[in-house]
Amino acid sequence: MAAEVNEVGVSVPLSVRLRFGHAAVQHLADEIGVDLLHIKGVAVDPELRSGRDSGSDVDVLVRPGHVDRLDRAMRRHGWRLYSTFEWGSPFGHAQTYLHDAWGYVDIHRFFPGIRLEPGRAFEQFWRDRNEVQIARIGCHVPSVTAQGVLLVLNAARSTNGRSVDVRMAWVDASTERRAEMTALVADLDASVAFAAATGELERYRGERDYRLWKIVSEGGSRSAEWWARIRAAPNLGAALRVAARAPRVNVDHLAHRLGRAPTRGEVAGEFFRRPARAVREAWRGIRRAEPGR
């Protein structure tokens, strides 16, 4: 009879890797005194999960003032930056890392749709947090009510509506839970994005971010989405930052497409291809808008 500790030549199910990913990030956060909350995937309460698979990555919401410390610690422990806040998503809310053992981790510094200042929003979630065991490590998660709100807000960013999440978290929720969620959405100043997922967006036509959530939840051209982002920005400075970003090349995306760091020439080439793409999109938009076609 022989048994050996096997480290090579075996496959580890994705669901196992992801659970370890949650546990690894929590362990590291505990070591360096970083506050974070596990959101989505296996961290979601079973009441809201509907028995689906556990996703393809680990998502954590980090206290904004702790993001830099976590970033440095993760890089020291084998996580490689895969995409940046700047280019990871049009909202600039999350940064993705890849670890050989644990796979992908998304670090969120705020959650799209919440207009309350990110530090105060995090504190709101942190104050009512729970703890769940993942891979026998105690991991902090938002309250079940807050998890429901985050699932609905997340669904608002999907043009297919992630109807299962909205049904589980909102449509099928008890009257008491819906009242708690509604109160939290108001505290987080997240009513517009929430309404985009629950089909009540038209109540918010006068809001500055109405058009953005209309496009994000229902679809639209890339250029229309950027215009909506500029219009949704809370002040001129934020609007200018968005405007400055819009015409630049997403270097992370280009690097992943090429499988290596792009050369200056490739970045320049991509820059000149993008306006042409925007013109084509605008042309298609005009054609769609023309009556009788």
Partner 1 sequence: MTGLRRAPGIGIQEQNGAVYVAPLPDGPIVVLDGVAGVIWHAACAGDRATIAERVAEATDAAADEIRDDVDAFVADLVARGLLVYDP
List residues binding partner 1 (CB under 8 A): 1-7, 10, 12-13, 15-17, 19-20, 23-25, 27-28, 31, 77-78, 99-102, 135-137
Minimum CB distance to partner 1 smaller for 23 or for 152:
23
CB of 227 closer than 8 Å to CB of 242:
no
Q: CB 72 → partner 1: shortest distance, Å?
A: 13
- Let me know how long the chain is: 293
Minimum CB distance to partner 1 smaller for 28 or for 239:
28
Burial class of residue 283 in the structure, from the number of CB atoms within 10 Å of its CB (0-12 exposed, 13-18 middle, 19+ buried): exposed
Reduced 3-state DSSP string for 216-269: HHHCCCHHHHHHHHHHHCCCHHHHHHHHHHCCCCCHHHHHHHHCCCCCHHHHHH
CB of 37 closer than 8 Å to CB of 142:
yes
β-bridge mates for residue 181, sequence order: none
Minimum CB distance to partner 1 smaller for 12 or for 240:
12
Minimum CB distance to partner 1 smaller for 82 or for 110:
82
Spatial separation of the C-alpha atoms in residues 200 and 213, rounded to whole Å:
11
Spatial separation of the C-alpha atoms in residues 236 and 225, rounded to whole Å:
18
Q: CB 42 → partner 1: shortest distance, Å?
A: 11
Q: Report CA 153 to chain centroid distance, whole Å.
A: 10
Minimum CB distance to partner 1 smaller for 9 or for 292:
9
* Selection from 77, 3, 84, 91 nearest residue 34 by Cα: 77
Considering Cα of 182, then 185, then 191, then 194, what sign does the dihedral take?
negative
Q: CB 99 → partner 1: shortest distance, Å?
A: 8
Minimum CB distance to partner 1 smaller for 78 or for 119:
78
Spatial separation of the C-alpha atoms in residues 262 and 268, rounded to whole Å:
10
Minimum CB distance to partner 1 smaller for 38 or for 157:
38
Spatial separation of the C-alpha atoms in residues 164 and 167, rounded to whole Å:
5
Minimum CB distance to partner 1 smaller for 67 or for 151:
67
Q: CB 220 → partner 1: shortest distance, Å?
A: 41
